[in-house]
Structure 1
Amino acid sequence: MTGEQYSRRRFLKSGLAVTVAGLAGCSGTGATGTATPESIFQETSVLRNSLRVTLREDHDVSKVNLIAPDGSEFHSTGVETGVTTVKFNLFDFYPGQHYSPGEYELIAVRDGKELSSTSLNLQPDLRLTSIEQYSGGTDSPQNRANLLVTVENVGTAPTWVYYLGYSGTPNATHTPQEGHPKDSPLKALEMPKSKEETILAPSETQSFLGRWPPFQFSGEEHCREMTIEFGLTVYSGIGDNLTRQHRATLSGEKIQELYRETCSEISIETTEKRGTDG
């Protein structure tokens, strides 16, 4: 069956699709879907960048295929006798080596014959949970001019964050600069410290710190309750980017080091509930 085009209409028109409660992930995270009656597929869950599938103990499956939304085979894996868990890598940090969001189908096969199938939706969905002045490290303009951005993935599939873009700030970085591609997130991020930590599986939360502080300036008096309207875009490796509008109020004392300056107090107010940028 490898290389064949599978029609999800065949599955949906059969009238055999029923909801299977067990298809939610072990901890309530990850993809959910529908399956044929007495399905061989017992549970699906997402761990980091992988989809894990649990099969019924008495199965006689020799292979499981994961079919993409366009009907092509995304991945296929053999199943050894007695094995009840199989894993599919959904992405790697290489251009083009990742899934596309949408509805997928798992098909259990034995000797070229389909035994069971289930559909599941793989869709990341980033939400901004907080944004605040960075308070870590030394009391320098490089640190105090930066913002700590915390993001949660409320979707059903993983992604990663590779860039924080700011527009309307004194040091604007509204689009990824050349040389900072999706597959090298640490080139544009001070935090987290490892590439693996930039991954957000379903229900996971992570804080990010960009490499270029957006509120670093020079030669002007900003720290007298000045307000600045600005935009933040969290760039996602898969799916939609997250864009939000904010208002910053700059106050406190001026922190200066050589030609770099910022304010000791920067408060952030969100002015737009939520937005996405495909």
Structure 2
Amino acid sequence: MDITTEKHYNPGQYRLVAVTPDSDTTSMSLDLTPQLKIVDVRQYLSGRPTPGNRGNVVTTVVNRGTGPTWVFNIVYENAPYDLATTIDASPSLPTANLALPKTEAEVILHPNESQEYMGSVPPFVIPNSKSCDGWSSETVVVVQAARNSNTKQLVRASHSGELLSANFRNSCNEISIEMIGKEADDA
């Protein structure tokens, strides 16, 4: 499978035409427009309890539109970990930027389906000066899909529990995440 954002169709109205063997034709209008919405954001709790794992999040996205698309990146605005805030809107291969899912077939999001995604850079790795005493941060989760279609959601993360430290990175082992308000403005 070869997925790049250059090979995505142009969303919009299409006309489907059927021709019978007798050359009779019939046609109908068909709307192919994906509409992504972030429906859940939660701390990643699988794998070893490392700062990189516990500082990352799983984002559930649903396609409420009428056409398929694929997610190629998850990034963050105003995240505690600066490296997670790089907004890369350039086309790229999905599996290069995502820790989950692992295959290109799984990044495709059909109408009325949902999928869990995880970016490759954890947003809630924290500076050495921070502790896990219940402080909170507000971050915007940005789901980047084909055709530079960004979907955003503001979240509040409460950092508590034990401080995990490894490889010069820190994170709290308990991060409670709540979605705040409606979907953030598109980029």
TM over 0.5: same fold? yes
Among 125, 132, 144, the residue aligned to 1:223? 132
Greater strand proportion: 2
1:159 match: 69
Q: C-alpha distance in 2, partners of 1:227/1:140?
A: 20
RMSD: 2.2
**Using a 3 Å threshold, how does the CA distance of structure 1 residues 121 and 276 change in structure 2: closer, same or farther?**
farther
Greater helix proportion: 2
**Using a 3 Å threshold, how does the CA distance of structure 1 residues 276 and 134 change in structure 2: closer, same or farther?**
same
Indicate whether 1:194 and 2:89 are aligned: no
Measured after TM superposition, the shift of residue 113 of structure 1 is 5.5
Contact 2:8–2:69, Cα closer than 8 Å, also in 1: no
Contact 1:240–1:276, Cα closer than 8 Å, also in 2: no
Measured after TM superposition, the shift of residue 112 of structure 1 is 11
Larger mean CA deviation between 252-261 and 92-101 belongs to: 92-101
Q: How does 1:114-153 map to 2 (within 5 A)?
A: 115-153=25-63
**Using a 3 Å threshold, how does the CA distance of structure 1 residues 166 and 239 change in structure 2: closer, same or farther?**
closer
Contact 2:79–2:85, Cα closer than 8 Å, also in 1: no
With normalisation by structure 2, the TM-score equals 0.90
Measured after TM superposition, the shift of residue 177 of structure 1 is 4.0
1:109 match: 19
Indicate whether 1:174 and 2:85 are aligned: yes
Q: C-alpha distance in 2, partners of 1:260/1:175?
A: 18
Measured after TM superposition, the shift of residue 100 of structure 1 is 0.8
1:237 match: 146
> Which runs of 5 or more residues in structure 2 are unaligned?
none
With normalisation by structure 1, the TM-score equals 0.62
The code of the aligned residue for 2:98 comes to: L
**Using a 3 Å threshold, how does the CA distance of structure 1 residues 277 and 92 change in structure 2: closer, same or farther?**
farther
Contact 1:125–1:239, Cα closer than 8 Å, also in 2: no
What SS is found at the alignment partner of 2:133? coil
Deviation string, structure 1 residues 90-113 (Cα, Å, up to 9, x no partner): x95245322111111011236896
Q: How does 1:1-278 map to 2 (within 5 A)?
A: 93-109=3-19, 115-172=25-82, 173-177=84-88, 181-238=90-147, 240-277=149-186
**Using a 3 Å threshold, how does the CA distance of structure 1 residues 176 and 106 change in structure 2: closer, same or farther?**
same
Deviation string, structure 1 residues 223-266 (Cα, Å, up to 9, x no partner): 11111111111001147311111111101110111311100111
The code of the aligned residue for 2:171 comes to: T
Contact 2:41–2:59, Cα closer than 8 Å, also in 1: yes
The code of the aligned residue for 1:240 comes to: S
Measured after TM superposition, the shift of residue 222 of structure 1 is 3.1
What SS is found at the alignment partner of 1:142? helix
Q: Report the count of equivalent residues.
A: 186
Contact 2:54–2:173, Cα closer than 8 Å, also in 1: yes
Contact 1:163–1:176, Cα closer than 8 Å, also in 2: no
What SS is found at the alignment partner of 1:272? strand
Q: C-alpha distance in 1, partners of 2:2/2:185?
A: 24
| Higher RCO, 1 vs 2 (CA within 8 Å, ≥6 residues apart) | 2
Show structure 1 runs of 4+ deviating over 6 A: none
Measured after TM superposition, the shift of residue 276 of structure 1 is 5.0
> Which runs of 5 or more residues in structure 1 are unaligned?
1-90
If you compute each CA radius of gyration, which structure gives the higher value, 1 or 2?
Answer: 1
Q: C-alpha distance in 2, partners of 1:95/1:125?
A: 16
